[in-house]
Amino acid sequence: MISTKIPKMIYGGDYNPEQYDRETMNEDIRMFKSAKIDFVRVNIFAWAISQKDEVSYDFQWLDEVIDTLYENEIKVGIGTGTAAHPAWLAKKYPDVLRTEFDGKKRKFGGRHNSCPNSLTYQKYASLFVKKLVERYQKHPAVLLWNISNEWGGACYCENCEKAFRVWLKEKYRTLDHVNKAWNTTFWGHTFYDWDEIVTPNLLSEHFGERHTMFQGISLDYARFNSDSMLECHKMEYDIIKKSLPDTIVTTNIMGAYKPLDYQKWAPYMDVIAWDNYPSIETPTSYTAMMHDLMRGLKNGEPFMLMEQTPSQQNWQPYNALKRPGVMRLWSYQAVAHGSDTVLFFQMRRSSGACEKFHGAVIDHVGHENTRVFKEVAELGEELDQLSDTLLNSRVQSKVAIVFDWDNWWAVEYSSGPSISLKYVDEVHKYYKALFDQNIQVDMIGVQEDLSQYEVVIAPVLYMVKPGYAKKIEDFVEKGGIFLTTFLSGIVDENDLVTLGGYPGELRHVLGIWSEEIDALAPEHTNKIVMEKEYGLLKDVYSCSLLFDLIHSEGAEVIATYGKDFYQGRPVVTKNKFGKGQAWYVASSPDDAFLQGLINEIIKEKGIRNDFSGNEPGVEITKRIKGDKTYVFVLNHNSDTVHIELSSVTGLNLLTGEEVFQSIELASYDVAIIEQSK
Amino acid sequence: MISTKIPKMIYGGDYNPEQYDRETMNEDIRMFKSAKIDFVRVNIFAWAISQKDEVSYDFQWLDEVIDTLYENEIKVGIGTGTAAHPAWLAKKYPDVLRTEFDGKKRKFGGRHNSCPNSLTYQKYASLFVKKLVERYQKHPAVLLWNISNEWGGACYCENCEKAFRVWLKEKYRTLDHVNKAWNTTFWGHTFYDWDEIVTPNLLSEHFGERHTMFQGISLDYARFNSDSMLECHKMEYDIIKKSLPDTIVTTNIMGAYKPLDYQKWAPYMDVIAWDNYPSIETPTSYTAMMHDLMRGLKNGEPFMLMEQTPSQQNWQPYNALKRPGVMRLWSYQAVAHGSDTVLFFQMRRSSGACEKFHGAVIDHVGHENTRVFKEVAELGEELDQLSDTLLNSRVQSKVAIVFDWDNWWAVEYSSGPSISLKYVDEVHKYYKALFDQNIQVDMIGVQEDLSQYEVVIAPVLYMVKPGYAKKIEDFVEKGGIFLTTFLSGIVDENDLVTLGGYPGELRHVLGIWSEEIDALAPEHTNKIVMEKEYGLLKDVYSCSLLFDLIHSEGAEVIATYGKDFYQGRPVVTKNKFGKGQAWYVASSPDDAFLQGLINEIIKEKGIRNDFSGNEPGVEITKRIKGDKTYVFVLNHNSDTVHIELSSVTGLNLLTGEEVFQSIELASYDVAIIEQSK
Amino acid sequence: MISTKIPKMIYGGDYNPEQYDRETMNEDIRMFKSAKIDFVRVNIFAWAISQKDEVSYDFQWLDEVIDTLYENEIKVGIGTGTAAHPAWLAKKYPDVLRTEFDGKKRKFGGRHNSCPNSLTYQKYASLFVKKLVERYQKHPAVLLWNISNEWGGACYCENCEKAFRVWLKEKYRTLDHVNKAWNTTFWGHTFYDWDEIVTPNLLSEHFGERHTMFQGISLDYARFNSDSMLECHKMEYDIIKKSLPDTIVTTNIMGAYKPLDYQKWAPYMDVIAWDNYPSIETPTSYTAMMHDLMRGLKNGEPFMLMEQTPSQQNWQPYNALKRPGVMRLWSYQAVAHGSDTVLFFQMRRSSGACEKFHGAVIDHVGHENTRVFKEVAELGEELDQLSDTLLNSRVQSKVAIVFDWDNWWAVEYSSGPSISLKYVDEVHKYYKALFDQNIQVDMIGVQEDLSQYEVVIAPVLYMVKPGYAKKIEDFVEKGGIFLTTFLSGIVDENDLVTLGGYPGELRHVLGIWSEEIDALAPEHTNKIVMEKEYGLLKDVYSCSLLFDLIHSEGAEVIATYGKDFYQGRPVVTKNKFGKGQAWYVASSPDDAFLQGLINEIIKEKGIRNDFSGNEPGVEITKRIKGDKTYVFVLNHNSDTVHIELSSVTGLNLLTGEEVFQSIELASYDVAIIEQSK
């Protein structure tokens, strides 16, 4: 946990002084100080600078950087630099280069360019990290180690093919098990020798972006690829930890990034650190969900906002500026969801190559008289004032949403029923319904204990892993409310259908049988007709995407379809099970329905948000430490709003003013109210 | 002809018990019987299961399957299993793998994965089929042999390149002939050695999906590729026929599937068998046209509906369920157009891989209490009642539409005049005008005799093969009505323009000269202005796509363009020629015009449909056997309709009720009225 | 300059008699004469015909063609034939084949298929051209030599990779300079050996169509590729010039063709010759701009319209016919902008391969009784009447628009700020504003002297090359008006940002600082609010795309943004500098604003068009020779218009009628009024 190492919320970000001269660095540091910047991340892509061949290392430049920063009381996050291998390595040892999804062998270029199963890459990356550790392990400036940078992508080379077979042998032991897990009797794919197995890509089982002819092998390859990168990560992690068991080691990850199963990565990150890059169109609720997903990776421990842009990006189609106040607002949104840092990419804009148009604290103009720098400096001042107040405070949620990478891969690798089904979108629909009512949520994996929650929502829980149905039954039996949707309970961990009727292992707890699944193009919707008023739900609502045709096997029918040949059949059911309830939503409803449904469910469990109304565009969260509760009020609107806060009273830490049950916030403004209790 | 071998319309479909256990097979068979299922197709993709290396065959599992089916009085269509080669074959002999259109060599994966010119593939496929024939030639359960499955795709490997040169040598004898046929003086492509010729693909003459810089070579490669697969098919056909000269041998084909010229394949199929997979959006008339195209491959002999889904598919973007009644309706539509079977893919859903969401007679739930199974069982009962009544009855048409694969390839390989021109769409426009008036149509190739027809329609007859213009002239001379459209008569069989004025060899019979061809984007339409009332045609109509600027050379001008610089020039002409007429439609008209035109043309030839009105969404066809006429009335509407049937009277075989000149049919309902005479 | 060699405007075009027989050629020549066609371009793609192996040349066919043409008094432009290499060369020496952007090695096919860095290609192309020169150098029919044909594309093979390193060595001398120019410290790309540098393509730095991770290397590769082709061009140029120093040698180029920097090519073309292929949707102003761009390549010298279609094309999506009169109108438009020729592709349509649907003077019908041939013959008659009247007359402009290929590449390689930014579109917006007011424009490169201009407009002058800022300052100082836009002055010639504040080196002359650049999706627009009335500008206008947030540093604020957080900040500024003015337009305005702005600016400099009104769709230009001014009036409208011409009086050379201050022109009609003075 980073908060044990720092006296205040660290503030700063990525810094690449190797791109400029010493004089510029001095000027940078002067400006950093004026903005209360006290932490920078260095050496992220500097492997090639420090090592010019197999045997020659030269860290003089880095010594100078780190020493100078130290002299100026700026802490350092030291990157291991392995996120881009040197050109000489690629030229001499082409096995370090990746092979793409379509089978093309890459040349040197870009970043994240190494094959994770290249022994050459592993050898020279290890050696480089060892040299770094040797040199900087005792340096007092170093606050943490950052392995690589935004691990990602995938490789399909021969080395990976061979490593995949080994990975499969370890997992399945016999080919019989593989053949069974992948259902290879279909289309005559029986394997008689491990070496007959090839990487599943556009040359073999895949066609188009996300389609595969064999889900089993593709799913295992997705796991293998994530594991392969994790092995590289662990290799570096172990090197650093061996010498520095007490230091913080992490890597910066990317929210709902599909290729890597971060839930398996989290044990090898001492603190979760992530890069938050919403566009001007990203819903506020989506960003919030990402923060919660990241916080959920490590049991709710505070995380690091490792990167965000102070202003604009360069890789969006349209790179809008962050409007005045928005950088501060989104920084506090991260904190409101559990971040103990506010960090940027990047401190100074590069003058050439593809990120020259990416925003920076110090712009190409080079001085501090810019809107962006001023906003950064003002926030620096505030964070300085806040000192350690918020550090290590916790978010407490009674509601969990289940998010599972394997399930994501599996549901989207499936051929049918609908190409419009996107796992993250369906999860976000439910998240948003909670968010709009200011109910805090934990985003959890299937390995998590459920006993601390009152409500567990698992949208499109297509894959039910061994033991998970039992876990849910126990949860409901003891009084929990569980909710899931269409296309749940379909397959096991190998994407093999659970025979005997959908939703498979969840059928018992849900008290329903789903006989068929209709899929229609987006323009074809159906209606949700309430059987009777249910809380706020009294109208007719719309639903779309998939339409499970279910039979109640004991569940109460809450609403029915309003048209088509399944008019009158259940679309929403509630099953009493033990002391709890298990809900099934058989189609993808509109927002209004979900708002009403969620409102009713949380009311049943007595979950309240302590605020009298839900002002549109106003987000309210709490972090708790000891006997203090910090209420974050964030106005995402571009105009001033008056917000009723019911029983909330206390000091607004950002203004020093007392707040009594309501507050007025200007456009994009934030309040952090400290309550005792 | 399959009807000589069977006592009733066989009912069943694809069955893959190798994906489940013996107990499940027993349960399947119990259910088959309850649904009157009496035929299944087995071993379709089972090569890899039965052969684990070059020398080891093990058919025990298949013995058990076939014996058990036989014991239960279920007939078997035995697949040769060569549609997917085993993984070990690919690993040891990579020449069996295809090379794609973009030059990428494939690895093992998917299906239809063999290079047709791989000698290794040919060797081991032959050996496998021989083993199968040896083992099952006397098995009394076997009703027919099904070679491979849905032959398709193309290969561009070195073996194919070499085989292509040999194919060219056989066709052209000298390079001079090749150079002339391909017009290689254009862009300096003169070949001086056969080995200079390379496969035309994205690495050589092609760019984008359908564009080629040399139509001649691309057209020949399309023929070569279709021929290469046909050779593989014939290889298996000959093996089976050698031992079993009287058995039925076929392969399941796919309607208007562009890569394979089925008109050349038909002689090597003892019965036409095809797989019908309309989506929820497919026009009824399009499905009808596909049935007629398939029936036309073999002189109108009854065909097999070899595959259809009982419910939904998995590979459409949105896989809608077949609405209640639709499976039955579409089954009878196949019969109404000449099918003597109703067969499904698949009997039991697979539990894994890409077709796990494809509909099946027995669903994952595994029991018979599903809507789908019940509909299957009800139809089974009906077909059982129908017994052999309809078998081998024939469709009789006085109208033919010409459909030619070479022409399809050539017109769509051409660069210009318009990317919106799709051959099948233009053919379907004319088919639909006839269909909407319940006029039965034969879809015929250019090799067919025309003497049995009164009207022959050849939309976009771009390519006129040797002798075909003469055949049309003879047809018209003797009194036939011939109709063709814009962009006809342009090229010979090598895609070389017939010089001297469009429509080339058709100019004489049509009595026109087409000076220029205008092409406009779809939003730019012109008008068809009638010279005078012509039957029902009296308004102004719309046309689009291409606009031939024609001069009459004796033809009567029926209608003229209504705007643009060619306003007043002919758009529709009729030429009296001998005892007949030759029509030219110089643009692509709207539906209303085509309805009126077709109505008038058929009236001229005294072709009537015996039905007093054309109820929208109601399809009526006839099959005739001996002195019986079976009138099929199919209500494609989702509500009940009352249909006037003029002189039709007789017994509705599906209800046992007498029909007298009209009938009321519920949503999706069908009647088959047996008339004497 | 071609006009020194010819007695009249030559008329004719591409002729490929090798595709037909001798009899057809005789018939062609008869028709040529009837249409006053006196020039054809031959041998363009005929390499393969004349050379069947490394040592055998046979030019007999070409002798016959050229002799026959000569006998018939038709002049010849002789192509060098190297635009498509023979198949035998590709088979024997695969190094002549290109490697594509995605790394795929091509096979034989298409045209423009040679790797420019293939020594084999260079050797055999040279030899072939030498043979041609030897044979035809004294032939009296030959008027000019045409090297290759439409040079284009790019290659990424190993030979190119090696040649690229050599090109870099020559340019940068040391790797330190390369590393600096490309900013390789970013993402750890430091090169320690020249051989570590690989071609930038989809296998290395590029992703998607136009994105690169390193602009520096991609920009240099674009230059290298253009230079490589230019080297091949110069190789042929030198061979011909060595034997024939006084002959005209050129190559036909393609307007704003991105891959080749024609401004660097122009010195090696004795006359600019270009191929003009507008579609039916191309704005008239765009075609005009292309003519001016081409004329500008060689200091305004008259150019050759080398190709245009007499009727339709084949490679557009929808290949519309040129409406009656349009071919003549567009021919005179070329002349009105400086062409001294009117030439077509092609004389006779090919009968096969991909251009069989491309329009031709002689169509497939083969005779002269076609609309197209008649229009060609009528124009031939007119051009014959015009004799040498217009030859070598000049366009005189006081306004220049800067167009720079390096800038084009750089601005569109950049990642951010907006994918919607297209350099040519922004240039065209300003061109159109001038065009609509009938103000003639020179399109000039950055190497051109500015002293002859009153107004210089440089839209999106993103890259400012060494010395160019000084050149502009001098120009303004002396009284010129300079105008530039958003995203100007950002980088140097290596795409490295000019630090210290945008617009970099232009900041001084413009008197502004651009602090930030906002980018919004196309649907988000802002408003331009005038500070006060400015000429015709008095309303509120719209702007979009990019939005520079600028500060005046002395410039007068002419207009401000009307909304968003930068409401009230300058959007249009004018800086007095010396005797002149420097304007900055910080966003992309609508047409109405640009019309008003341009109107005001030219009024300030006393630039007038001598015509009293600007009739929509009527284009008016002047060419001047000695004491004669030729006023071209072109009616692009499809109906008759009456045009006020103010002081213009004189003889309409096309009708022989006197014009006095106004004229009426029918649809698509043209007048050329000869004025004295």
Domains parsed from chain B with CATH numbers? 2-151+226-386 (3.20.20.80), 158-219 (no CATH), 399-604 (3.40.50.880), 618-675 (2.60.40.1180)
* Interchain proximity C366–B499, CB inside 8 Å: yes
Look at residue C585 in the predicted model and tell me its pLDDT. 98
Asked if C260 contacts C152 with a C-beta cutoff of 8 angstroms, the reply is: yes
DSSP state letters, A472-507: HHHHHHTT-EEEEETT-S-B-TTS-B-SSSBTGGGH
Q: Which of residues 565-604 of C touch A (CB under 8 A)?
A: 565
Query: Which of C104, C319, C352 lies closest to B417 in CB terms?
Result: C319
Alpha-carbon distances, residue B444 vs B223, B305, B450, B601 (angstroms):
19, 19, 9, 19
Give me the half-sphere count of Cα atoms (radius 13 Å) on the Cβ side of residue A520.
15
pLDDT in tens, C557-579: 999 999 999 999 999 999 999 99
Distance CA B179, CA B168 (A): 11
The predicted model scores a pTM of: 0.97
Ranges of residues in chain B whose predicted pLDDT is under 50: none
Residue B459: strand, helix, or coil: coil
C492 pLDDT tier (thresholds 50, 70, 90): very high
Cα distance from B197 to chain C (closest Cα, Å)?
8
Does residue C189 belong to the interface with chain A, where contact is any CB pair within 8 Å? yes
**Interface with chain B: mutation pick from A156, A164, A176, A189, highest number of B CBs within 10 Å:** A189
Q: Does B191 touch chain C (CB under 8 A)?
A: yes
Higher-pLDDT residue of C365, A112:
C365
Contacts of C67 (CB under 8 A, 6+ apart): C141
- B111 and A500 within 8 Å at the Cβ level: the answer is no
| Token pair listed for C271 | 């006359």
Q: Which two tokens stand for residue A391?
A: 């550090």
Cα distance between residue C517 and residue C510, in whole Å: 17
The encoded tokens of residue B419 equal 């990317």
Q: How far is CA C312 from the centre of its chain?
A: 21
Task: Tell me the residue type at A169.
Answer: K
Peptide bond into A503 cis (omega under 30): yes
d(CA C263, CA C266): 6
Q: Quote the CA–CA distance of B277 and B254 in Å, as a whole number.
A: 9
In the predicted structure, residue C1 carries a pLDDT above the cut 70: no
Cβ distance of A351 and C496 shorter than 8 Å:
yes
Whether C647 contacts chain B with CB within 8 A? no
Residue pair C103/C202 in contact by the 8 Å Cβ criterion:
yes
Contact C81, C128 (CB under 8 A): yes
Helix, strand or coil, per DSSP, at residue C155: coil
Q: SS3 of C308, please?
A: coil
Which positions of chain A have pLDDT values less than 50?
Answer: none
Q: What is the mean pLDDT of chain C?
A: 97
β-strand A481-485 against A455-458: which pairing, if any? parallel
* Residue to test with chain C: of B190, B546, B569, most C Cβ within 10 A: B190
What SS3 state is found at A565? Answer: coil
Catalytic residues of C: 150, 307
d(CA A273, CA A284): 20
Q: What is the pLDDT of residue B646?
A: 87
Chains that touch C (3 or more CB pairs under 8 A): A, B
Q: Which of residues 323-382 of B touch A (CB under 8 A)?
A: 323-324, 349-358, 363-366, 370-372
Q: Do B104 and A193 touch (CB under 8 A)?
A: no
| Percentage, residues of chain B above pLDDT 90 | 95
- The pair of structure tokens assigned to A199 is 């990487």
Q: What's residue A610's pLDDT?
A: 74
- Residue numbers in B near C358 (CB within 8 A): 416
Per the listing, tokens 């993103």 go with C462
How many alpha carbons fall within 13 Å on the CB side of residue C236? 31
Phi-psi region at C668: left, alpha or beta (left = phi > 0; alpha = psi -120 to 50): left
**pLDDT value of residue C6:** 86
Say if residue B117 is exposed, middle or buried (CB neighbours under 10 Å; 0-12, 13-18, 19+). buried
User: What is the rounded distance in angstroms from the CA atom of residue A434 to the CA atom of residue A595?
Assistant: 7
Please answer yes or no on whether A186 and B19 come within 8 Å at the CB atom. Answer: yes
Dist CA A453 CA A397 (whole Å): 7
Bridge partner residues of B275 (DSSP): B307
Q: Which of B49, B104, B363 sits opposite A190 (nearest CB)?
A: B49
A349 labelled as ligand-binding? no
Spatial distance between the Cα atoms of B151 and B132, rounded to a whole number of angstroms? 20
Give me the residues paired with residue A673 across strands. Answer: A631, A652
B565 to C105: CB separation less than 8 angstroms, yes or no? no
Percent of chain B, pLDDT > 70? 99
The contacts of residue A216 (CB under 8 Å, 6+ apart) are: A181, A182, A183, A494, A495, A496, B352, B353
Separation of alpha carbons C341 and C278, rounded Å: 18
Which secondary-structure segment (H or E) carries B500? none
Asked if C116 and C236 count as a contact pair (C-beta separation under 8 A), the reply is no
Q: Could you report the predicted ipTM of this complex, rounded to two decimals?
A: 0.96
Q: Residue C536's pLDDT is what?
A: 87
Q: Could you tell me the strand order of the sheet in which C142-146 lies? A: C248-250, C142-146, C75-79, C39-42, C10-14, C341-344
Rg (alpha carbons) of chain C, rounded to whole number? 26
pLDDT band at C676 (very low <50, low <70, confident <90, very high): confident
In percent, the amount of chain C with pLDDT more than 70 equals: 100
Nearest in space to B390 (alpha carbons), one of B338, B438, B442: B338
